[in-house]
Copies of this chain bind each other. A is one copy, B any other.
Amino acid sequence: MTLGVIGLGLIGGSLALDLKRRGFASKVLGVENDTVAAQAALTIGLADEIVPYETCVEKADIIVVAVPVGTAVKMVPEILDKIGPEQLVIDVCSTKSQICHAVKYHPKRQQFVSTHPMAGTEYSGPWAAQPGLFDGRACIFANTEESAPKAVKTIEEMYGVLNMRPTYMNADQHDVHTAYVSHISHVTSFALALTVLDKEKDEKHIFDLASGGFASTVRLAKSNADMWVPILTQNRDNVLHVMDTYIDKMQQFRDAVANIDEDKIRELIEEANRIKRILR
């Protein structure tokens, strides 16, 4: 099986790496427009060859679109236009509604499977790719009823090789849920970094005093703008809704601190502690 991966960054690169190592793909054709990243991907061994986009679309049995979601929304219908009846296309984007809408009435819609492997780090580029990135994590399959059952089965097998747990969901529901458990976390980290950088002029002290807690809370603020600008704009309505709730909670907390209302602060903290029941 020849795997084509368009975009050899953190997700595309890690996926290529494990699918080749674990024998699912006999050959990986990579597409990477950035020449430095392309050379790095070859050196690291993420792909067997770097090929032009057209070659990948022509030759790969499964084409993985692993580019920022703004680009993917335009690219997936174009690829569907060109592929033969046995080829499959998947995307791995973090928002699902727009991409599913973009291909909804495409005559080859059944050859497309929309997925979101819920794994990653705050780093990007081929140098961020790592083996084992997906093991044990959830992979969302969106709107599978619009794909051919055989296509879904093949892609389930592919993610099975990556040891991912499949979860099935409507694309719109996906975008609501990820606004809560992924997108808002990124926004809160960005805002935290902005706050600290803005106020803490003496950068040495940030480094000196940063305990593990700060580092883990601000970690996602290292995330890449190319990826996150389209996610936040495509998922605007859901993200806004969560941000407004968040600002409201923060304001409640602020007022409790301002009023030195110990009972209210305790109540808020103990309510927040309930997250323990859900996350280890």
Residues of A within 8 A of B (CB): 118-122, 137-138, 140, 165, 167, 177-178, 180-182, 184-200, 203, 205-225, 228-229, 232-233, 236, 239-240, 242-247, 249-251, 253-254, 257-258, 260, 262, 265-266, 268-280
Q: A280 → chain B, closest Cβ, in Å?
A: 8
Q: List, in ascending order, chain B residues with CB within 8 A of A212's CB.
A: 119-121
Q: List, in ascending order, chain B residues with CB within 8 A of A217's CB.
A: 185, 188-189, 216-217, 219-220
Bound state CA distance, A184 and B253, in angstroms? 11
* Given pairs A182-B211, A187-B250, 18 additional interface contacts (CB within 8 A): A118-B209, A119-B211, A120-B213, A181-B196, A181-B211, A187-B253, A188-B188, A189-B272, A190-B269, A191-B253, A193-B275, A195-B246, A210-B278, A213-B219, A216-B220, A223-B273, A233-B262, A233-B265
Bound state CA distance, A244 and B178, in angstroms? 27
Q: List, in ascending order, chain B residues with CB within 8 A of A207's CB.
A: 278-279
Closest to A189 in B: B217
Q: List, in ascending order, chain B residues with CB within 8 A of A274's CB.
A: 193, 197
Subset of 19 A-B contacts with CB under 8 Å:
A167-B208, A167-B209, A181-B210, A182-B214, A188-B250, A191-B253, A194-B271, A196-B275, A203-B278, A217-B219, A222-B273, A222-B276, A224-B269, A225-B265, A228-B269, A229-B265, A243-B250, A243-B253, A244-B254
Bound state CA distance, A243 and B122, in angstroms? 25
Q: List, in ascending order, chain B residues with CB within 8 A of A232's CB.
A: 257, 265
Bound state CA distance, A122 and B207, in angstroms? 20
Residue from the list B191, B210, B233 in contact with A250, Cβ < 8 A: B191
Bound state CA distance, A257 and B119, in angstroms? 24
Closest to A260 in B: B233
Bound state CA distance, A228 and B222, in angstroms? 27
Residue from the list B182, B213, B278 in contact with A220, Cβ < 8 A: B213
Q: Which of A121, A260, A272 has the most CB of B within 10 A?
A: A272
Is A181 in contact with B198, judged by CB distance below 8 angstroms? no
Bound state CA distance, A210 and B246, in angstroms? 17
Q: List, in ascending order, chain B residues with CB within 8 A of A184's CB.
A: 192, 195-196
Q: A66 → chain B, closest Cβ, in Å?
A: 16
Q: List, in ascending order, chain B residues with CB within 8 A of A196's CB.
A: 180-181, 184, 275
